[in-house]
Chain A
Amino acid sequence: MSESLFEKLGGAVAVDAAVDIFYRKVLSDDSINHFFDDTDLQAQRDKQKSFLTMAFGGPNAYEGKDLRSAHAPLVERGLNDNHFGAVAGHLKATLDELDVPSDLTDEVMGIAASTQDDVLNR
């Protein structure tokens, strides 16, 4: 059996390496950081970890309806394609920073892009 995307990326270790780089980028971006409640930094970071695990093709319990209900309050506050694009940009920059090979990066970005309609509740 061939290695899964998650295994090729390095599994849970890769998620651990990526989560702080990614979340710091998101928190530092004034165009989107108001969507990320920073009063519970730890809980927010855990959510980023679940997201990255999913985007890395790893085991997760995410379903379309979870993504929808989780993001519905943010959509009401104006979450749109630009914000989605900004987060995706930070994900791409994180992968680049970690020297992830471009074919794997493409796969990750493909998974992330596939969530766009659920996240934006369309």
Chain B
Amino acid sequence: MISLTYGNDTHTCEPGESVLAVLLRSNVDVPYSCRAGACHSCLLRRSDGAVPASSQPGLKPTLREQNYFLACQLVPDEDISVSLPDDALVTGHAIVVGLEHLNKDICRVLLEPATPLYYHAGQYINLRRQDGLARSYSLASVPSVDKHLELHVRRLDNGRMSNWINDVLQVGDQLDFHGPYGDCFYLPDAEEQDLLLIGTGTGLAPLMGIARDALRSQHRGDIHLFHGSRTIRDLYLDRCLRELAEGHPNFHYRACVTGEDAVDEVRHGRANEIAFSEFPDLNAKRVYLCGLPAMVNTARKIAYLNGAAMENIMADAFEMTDLRKEERTERE
């Protein structure tokens, strides 16, 4: 007898029944629509093991990698635990073990999770203060290389969390988090493929994670990282990136500023525009875009028009709506 666990309940699967059929028969309210593997409404995630590729038609590689599947397409042949994409992960606890101001507005936060966190560099976590205030931050660290979780927190005008992290947070403090989330990370499925990484502001955090993850995985294609800021003073980890480029012939770094003239190796212009003018044909490339939504959405369209396949465009837009609003749960 095969059992299916969803939330706190366990259900018995009849022979030949899909996960969706079992849940619907048991009156579990899960989203679904076409029941034919096309609409992706019934997306679930297996939390206790791998799923067959036949249950993942049309899913992005990053979702496949995390054992997401379509409930209507999976007939379990062993006991299985599943959850909705959003409850897949529980609250984690972490201690602040490092704080470093990388420039006047950006703070590097190092966290030690209470239990080891399984994540991909470039995903993000929702960091939660003891009073419940929560914001999303991307992971710049690489699991197999870095001992701690690394976040880059840019101080925003009226940003309650970001100012608190920059001014008040101390080494030794405890923070809770949910995650990891996000499907913008390195995939070792095409090691010859050139990667184009484009980020603005702290969009550098996930891209540094992704670039270092690719290098650690001995990625053989070229990795081009374009980082955009307003001024040269807003750039950060510039030296660290130059050193990384010196140590790895296939890693290339370009800093771009919009608010100042070009100086030495810093280019003048928008990072996405400079990247696409250097690489007009994206047919065989994989493109990663992280940062402000305006840049990410524009660049995503241009990348597609310039030949990048839709599944080769990985994007993480740091959504921020009205900064004056009292309550805010968006990314900082």
Contact with B along A15-29 (1 / 0, CB 8 A): 000001000100110
Instruction: Give the residues from 20 to 65 in chain A that come closer than 8 angstroms, CB to CB, to chain B.
Output: 20, 24, 27-28, 38-39, 41-42, 45
* Bound: A52/B225 CA distance, A: 36
Q: How far apart are A29's CB and chain B's nearest CB, in angstroms? A: 11
Decide: A24 near B300, CB < 8 A? Known: A42-B310, A45-B310: no
Majority secondary structure, A binding face: helix
Q: How far apart are B1's CB and chain A's nearest CB, in angstroms? A: 37
Q: Which stretch (B41-49, B120-128, B256-264, B301-309) binds chain A?
A: B301-309
Please give, as numbers and ranges, the residues of chain B lying within 8 Å of A27 by CB-CB distance.
301, 304-305
Q: Is the CB of B297 within 8 A of A38?
A: yes
Please give, as numbers and ranges, the residues of chain A lying within 8 Å of B301 by CB-CB distance.
27, 38, 41
Q: Is the CB of A41 within 8 A of B305?
A: no
- Please give the number of chain A residues whose Cβ is less than 8 angstroms from any Cβ of chain B in the complex: 9
**Total A-B pairs, Cβ < 8 A:** 18
Q: Determine the residue in chain B with the shortest Cβ distance to A23.
A: B304
Q: Determine the residue in chain B with the shortest Cβ distance to A45.
A: B310
* Bound: A41/B287 CA distance, A: 15
Q: Is the CB of A41 within 8 A of B300?
A: yes
Q: How far apart are B303's CB and chain A's nearest CB, in angstroms? A: 9
* Bound: A96/B102 CA distance, A: 55
Q: Determine the residue in chain A with the shortest Cβ distance to B34.
A: A61
Q: Determine the residue in chain B with the shortest Cβ distance to A25.
A: B305
Q: Is the CB of A39 within 8 A of B297?
A: yes
Q: How far apart are B134's CB and chain A's nearest CB, in angstroms? A: 25
Instruction: Give the residues from 289 to 326 in chain B that come closer than 8 angstroms, CB to CB, to chain A.
Output: 297, 300-301, 304-305, 309-310, 313
Q: Is the CB of A20 within 8 A of B310?
A: yes
Q: Is the CB of B297 within 8 A of A20?
A: no
Please give, as numbers and ranges, the residues of chain A lying within 8 Å of B313 by CB-CB distance.
41
Q: How far apart are A26's CB and chain B's nearest CB, in angstroms? A: 11
Given contacts A27-B304, A28-B305, A38-B297, 14 further A-B contacts (CB under 8 A): A20-B309, A20-B310, A24-B304, A24-B305, A27-B301, A27-B305, A38-B301, A39-B297, A41-B300, A41-B304, A41-B310, A41-B313, A42-B310, A45-B310
Residues of chain A whose beta carbon lies under 8 Å from any beta carbon of chain B: 20, 24, 27-28, 38-39, 41-42, 45
